[in-house]
Structure 1
Amino acid sequence: MLQIDTWKRVLIWLVCVAGLLMALPNAFYTRVEQSNDAEAAIELGNDTPEMQALAAQWPSWMPSSLVNLGLDLRGGAHLLAEVQVEDVYESRMEAMWPEIRDALRGERATVGTIRRQPSAPDEIRIKISQPEGMARALEVVRGLSRPIQTLTGAGASDIEVRAEGDEIIVQLSEAEKLASDDRTVRQALEIVRRRIDEVGTREPTIQRQGADRILIQVPGIGSASELKEIIGTTAQLTFNPVVSRGTDPDAPVGVGEKVIPSLDEEGVYYTIEAAPVVTGEELVDAQPSFDQNGRPAVNFRFNTSGARKFGDYTRDNIGAPFAIVLDDEVISAPVIQSHIPGGSGIITGRFTVEESTNLAVLLRAGALPAGLEFLEERTIGPELGQDSIDAGKVATIVAFVAVLTFMALSYGLFGIFANIALLINVGLIFGLLSMIGATLTLPGIAGIVLTVGMAVDANVLIFERIREELKTAKGPSRAIELGYEKALSAILDANITTFITAVILFAMGSGPVRGFAITLGLGLITSVFTAIFVTRLMIVMWFERRRPKTIEV
């Protein structure tokens, strides 16, 4: 006999109601989106009457999660960037030079005086005055090497040291270059993500492509150039000792020194030591503020290591100028007035409020470890996105009408039950997409359209099986029960194999392919649920009320 326990009936209807409630905000997309944005602004302190009015557009007790629209539906910017991994080699060598210099100075009795020689960006050449002490010098420098902490570089050191005449040559090992390249791209990927998240964009797609490329897609942003302004700045902040100040960009410099322009003073150039005292990597916070004269500035704070180095340098160099350098431009060069032990300070300059805010965002997100070269950039207008949405609506409506008509004509009342379950099914899909914060793309709409076609497949199997059981002169109750029992294995086999395909697509694919896989996978889950439980529950409730002697499927 057909029988479903009361608690199961309640649970099935609760799942349906919860899914439809989660999907409901998408029917009022613009209103809910404005309300969510206004609530976020109020939490950040922008509690104005206009924001209160926008926030009140949607009841606070209702679900407010939305399906995020992808780049092809909402419009936005697309960038493909190549990370200039070679830039890191030079900075690594510059950072290593003070350590090598101090180590060799401790062996002056053996190696004599040391002098850095002009060299390629990815190496350091050091000349010693006593070549007979070369073996000891090589031993000391090699003692500074560190093991590579990767599986591919296990057992290798990060530097290679060799001698040529009276010169020591230090280079990064090939294993370290490979490990450094991987670290650089991973770090760049994370910093790009943090910078984009800082400005509040919705559901960006930021993925690594190949060995040294990053794909960036941000829906809802105005243009590719606007996106490049957010992420394109390297924002490498360093604090360097000043050697001299002048107006000649080609002023002679010593080894380990360089000439860079001033950002605020046109025609002024600073000669600074290339090796920084402290770098932006040791910053833990940066916030826009105002200086004592009311001009926009940026407050910063170092971590423990940076604070110690910053404090020691300011203690030993009172009265000397100190350059604050951002991307090879001096933004400020104050004279050290006193010891600064706390590891915090302020960056002043000719900033606007917007510039100081942007600088704080860049510094807080961290410096890009290397420059980015943009190989491809596209701006997708919202009109194209609207065309995609309209085309997707037409495709979905056509699929719906065709399937609903076919089911009603083929299976009569049972087909109508299947159609109701199909509508619930689509609502559950959108409810799940909203709940997990998934991004809907044009291929995702294709996945929903495909699900509409596949969702009735389980009902077709069940109804055809019921037809066969009715031909064997079994009663309608027993025929319905056997129809569901005998069709179950075929339904599960078909949907499990398709679900495995969706999982593989999600794991191996990227971007639009993943969007298709997500909607297909969720659609399979909801279609099995509605076919096995929802449709069956409606048929049982109808049968209990009508108690027909015969049925037609």
Structure 2
Amino acid sequence: MLRFPLWKVLLILGTILIGTLACVPNLLNEQQRAQYIPWLPIKPLNLGLDLKGGASILLEVDPVELRQNELRNTNRSVGEKLRETPLIPVVSRNPEGDAVVVRLRNAADKPAALERLKTLGKPPVGAIGVADYYVVSERADGAIEMRFSPAHFDKLQMDALSSSIEAVRRRADNSGLVEPNIQKQGDSRILVEVPGLNPEEMETLIDTLTQTGVLTFNMVDPAANIADFTPTVPRNNRVALPDDSMNGAIEVVFLDSIIQGSDLSGARQDFDETGQASISFSLHPAGAKRFGDETRKNVGQRFAIVLDNRIVSAPVIQSPITGGSGRITGSFSIEEAEQMAVVLRSGALPAKLKVAERRVVDASLGADSIRAGVTASIVGVGMVSLFMIAAYGLLGFFSVIALILNMVLLIGILSFFGATLTLPGIAGILLTMGMAVDYNVLIFERIREEKRAG
């Protein structure tokens, strides 16, 4: 007679007990779970889009805006490079079309400027087979022109997709969504699936995910003639932007920002002294020092808080701001302020995401899928159980008990790890049950052969 060590029996019984406890929340509703098992930290299985219903959103990176954003970043880098010692003075530097165009004050500085800007586009030391990021050349009118190399823009698109996926994932997590499915689709698209989302919630989510979230603090140029500028088109290292705090009036700001969104260490929805919704933010030490230095030099001047090419507010610097924190005020509702805080906490997108496709799976369709899956499971397990008992008698009965425990443990493990169950997942569980029975059939047939052989 077979005998098993006590520790092995206890281990098996303990595993079955833990698996059963992990499986129990799936059999109770939320009220019953709170009433009967509040001490159990394990939650029921999350249901996928095809079982629970919800939203499916297909996003794609806007290549035109990606190019424009990179041109602005390049323009900023060019300015920093030319301000290195010895300073090379310029008449203007602006993005024009698909290039950054620099016009020097002194023609004698051109060789030094060309040499300095060519180093800006060199790949890192040790990079093998990597072409220069920029093509630097002299135009017929004497200006210096910097264009992206084709290889650089291809890499830029790949990097933009990867960073967009991470930003979308952070925004989804910060929005409190449960088990969103976020994955790359093709070379330029992101698929976002969120179970249990209704059409109204989907629109709010789309606004949160697609907002670029590019935050900059820029000094306002009070001497600029607004009539000389076209809104959002850079000119002479300045740009005219609409000011939402002044009913859309145009303000001219310097392109070079004091701080950027990457300098933020945190952001949250708050209220100002009047009870109006606002966004409180804090800065990393380096950003806080830079902000303090700039505000110390520009007391009495105005600086603009710019979000996605729109001025949110443009306060006057009353005194140096050295605390490393501040507040963004405007005509926000609480929901808008919370959404903006989520976007700022999650980081900016490299370019705006466009909605290529959106669809809502009705919850009733998900309920139909659940009923169909449960029915298929019961019928499948029932027919297998009848066959096993009819073919193998008591041994078949034991295999059915083992089959049920197998299913309980499998669902318990999935619940323990917070997995998401989909319709293909139900099919996978049924396949697992079939394979488990198949092994039992092989064992039982071998037992029969051994008995016949004596």
TM-score, structure 1 length as denominator? 0.75
**Does 2:1 align with 1:25?**
no
Q: Which residue does the alignment assign to 1:395?
A: 376
1:231 aligned to which of 209, 212, 236: 209
Q: What SS does the aligned partner of 2:57 have?
A: strand
Query: 1:259, 1:271 within 8 Å by CA — same for their partners in 2?
Result: yes
Q: What SS does the aligned partner of 1:264 have?
A: helix
Query: 1:22, 1:63 within 8 Å by CA — same for their partners in 2?
Result: no
Letter in 2 for 1:417: F
2:171 aligned to which of 195, 198, 206: 195
**Does 2:191 align with 1:242?**
no
Query: For the residues of structure 1 that align with 2:403 and 2:29, how far apart are their CA atoms?
Result: 22
Q: Which residue does the alignment assign to 2:281?
A: 300
Name the CA shift for 1:150/1:262 in 2 (closer, same or farther; >3 Å): farther
What runs of 5+ residues in structure 2 fail to find an aligned partner?
none
Report the alpha carbon displacement of residue 242 of structure 1 after superposing the two structures with TM. 1.5
Query: 2:90, 2:102 within 8 Å by CA — same for their partners in 1?
Result: no
Q: What SS does the aligned partner of 1:143 have?
A: helix
1:97 aligned to which of 58, 63, 75: 75
Q: Which residue does the alignment assign to 1:216?
A: 192
Query: For the residues of structure 1 that align with 2:305 and 2:149, how far apart are their CA atoms?
Result: 32
Q: What SS does the aligned partner of 1:215 have?
A: strand
Letter in 2 for 1:419: V
> What CA deviation, in whole Å up to 9, does each residue of 1:204-263 have, x standing for no partner?
100112222111001112123233123122122111122259997957973332222222
Report the alpha carbon displacement of residue 129 of structure 1 after superposing the two structures with TM. 4.7
Q: Please list, as runs of the form range in 1=range in 2, the aligned pairs for 1:104-183 lying within 5 A after superposition.
A: 104=82, 113-116=90-93, 119-120=96-97, 122-148=98-124, 155-165=130-140, 166-183=142-159
Query: For the residues of structure 2 that align with 1:309 and 1:186, how far apart are their CA atoms?
Result: 30
Report the alpha carbon displacement of residue 291 of structure 1 after superposing the two structures with TM. 1.8
1:59 aligned to which of 15, 37, 41: 37
Letter in 2 for 1:240: N
What runs of 5+ residues in structure 1 fail to find an aligned partner?
36-55, 474-553
Name the CA shift for 1:351/1:132 in 2 (closer, same or farther; >3 Å): closer
Q: Which has the larger radius of gyration?
A: 1
Q: Which residue does the alignment assign to 1:14?
A: 14
> Is the helix fraction higher in 1 or 2?
1
Letter in 1 for 2:136: V
Query: For the residues of structure 2 that align with 1:191 and 1:150, how far apart are their CA atoms?
Result: 30
> What CA deviation, in whole Å up to 9, does each residue of 1:3-35 have, x standing for no partner?
333322222222222212211111114447xx6
Name the CA shift for 1:182/1:419 in 2 (closer, same or farther; >3 Å): same
Name the CA shift for 1:96/1:253 in 2 (closer, same or farther; >3 Å): closer
Count of residue pairs the alignment pairs up = 448
Q: Which residue does the alignment assign to 1:360?
A: 341
Name the CA shift for 1:101/1:202 in 2 (closer, same or farther; >3 Å): closer
Q: Which residue does the alignment assign to 1:472?
A: 453
Q: What SS does the aligned partner of 1:339 have?
A: coil
1:324 aligned to which of 305, 312, 315: 305
2:258 aligned to which of 268, 277, 292: 277
Name the CA shift for 1:150/1:306 in 2 (closer, same or farther; >3 Å): farther
Name the CA shift for 1:233/1:104 in 2 (closer, same or farther; >3 Å): closer
> Is the strand fraction higher in 1 or 2?
2
Report the alpha carbon displacement of residue 63 of structure 1 after superposing the two structures with TM. 4.8
Q: Which residue does the alignment assign to 1:506?
A: none
Query: 2:92, 2:237 within 8 Å by CA — same for their partners in 1?
Result: no
Query: For the residues of structure 2 that align with 1:470 and 1:105, how far apart are their CA atoms?
Result: 92
Report the alpha carbon displacement of residue 332 of structure 1 after superposing the two structures with TM. 0.6
Query: For the residues of structure 1 that align with 2:452 and 2:80, how far apart are their CA atoms?
Result: 95
Letter in 2 for 1:5: P
Query: 2:259, 2:287 within 8 Å by CA — same for their partners in 1?
Result: yes
> What CA deviation, in whole Å up to 9, does each residue of 1:342-374 have, x standing for no partner?
222111112222222222121111112211111
Letter in 2 for 1:115: S
Query: For the residues of structure 2 that align with 1:293 and 1:112, how far apart are their CA atoms?
Result: 46
Q: Please list, as runs of the form range in 1=range in 2, the aligned pairs for 1:38-77 lying within 5 A after superposition.
A: 56-77=34-55
Q: Which residue does the alignment assign to 1:45?
A: none
Name the CA shift for 1:144/1:118 in 2 (closer, same or farther; >3 Å): closer
Query: For the residues of structure 2 that align with 1:173 and 1:167, how far apart are their CA atoms?
Result: 19
Name the CA shift for 1:106/1:18 in 2 (closer, same or farther; >3 Å): closer
Query: 1:117, 1:127 within 8 Å by CA — same for their partners in 2?
Result: no
Query: For the residues of structure 2 that align with 1:338 and 1:268, how far apart are their CA atoms?
Result: 26
